[in-house]
A = this chain, B = another copy of it.
Amino acid sequence: MKLLEERIREDGVILPGDVIKVDSFLNHLIDVELISHCGDEWYKCFGNEGVTKILTIESSGIGIACITATKFGVPVLYAKKSRSATLRSGVYSTKVVSYTHGQSYDVLVSKRFLNKDDRVLIIDDFLANGSALRALITLAEKAGATVVGVGIAVEKVFQGGGDDIRMRGYRIESLAKIASVDTKEGIRFVE
A residues engaging B (CB < 8 A)?
A: 23-25, 28-33, 35-36, 58-59, 62-67, 69-70, 73-78, 80, 109-110, 112-113
By beta carbon, the residue of chain B nearest A70 is B32
User: Across the two chains, which residue of chain B brings its CB closest to A34?
Assistant: B75
Given contacts A62-B63, A63-B66, contact A31 B78 (CB under 8 A): no
Q: Which among B30, B31, B66, B110 is the interface contact of A30 at CB below 8 angstroms?
A: B66
* Secondary structure call for the A interface: mixed
CB pair A113 B28 closer than 8 Å: yes
Known contacts A59-B59, A59-B62, A110-B23, A28 near B77 by CB under 8 Å: yes
Q: Are A78 and B66 CB-contacts (below 8 A) given A28-B110, A28-B113, A110-B23?
A: no
Q: Are B35 and A66 in contact (CB under 8 A)?
A: yes
Q: What CA separation (Å) do A69 and B63 show in the bound complex?
A: 10
Which chain B positions have C-beta within 8 A of A110?
A: 23, 28-29
User: Within the complex, which residue of B25, B58, B67, B80 is in contact with A66, where a contact is CB–CB below 8 Å?
Assistant: B67
The distance from the CB of A66 to the nearest CB of chain B, in whole angstroms, is 4
The 8 Å CB contact of A75, one of B32, B74, B75, B112, is B32
Q: Assuming A24-B112, A69-B32, A113-B29, is B63 touching A76 (CB within 8 A)?
A: yes
A109's nearest neighbour on chain B, judged by CB, is: B28
Nearest first, the 6 closest Cβ-Cβ pairs linking A and B are A63-B66, A58-B59, A59-B59, A62-B62, A30-B76, A32-B69
Is the CB–CB distance between B36 and A70 below 8 Å?
yes
- Closest B residue to A23 by beta carbon equals B110
A30 close to B78 (CB less than 8 A) = yes
Instruction: Give the nearest-CB partner of A39 in chain B.
Output: B70
Tell me the nearest residue of chain B to A79, going by C-beta: B28
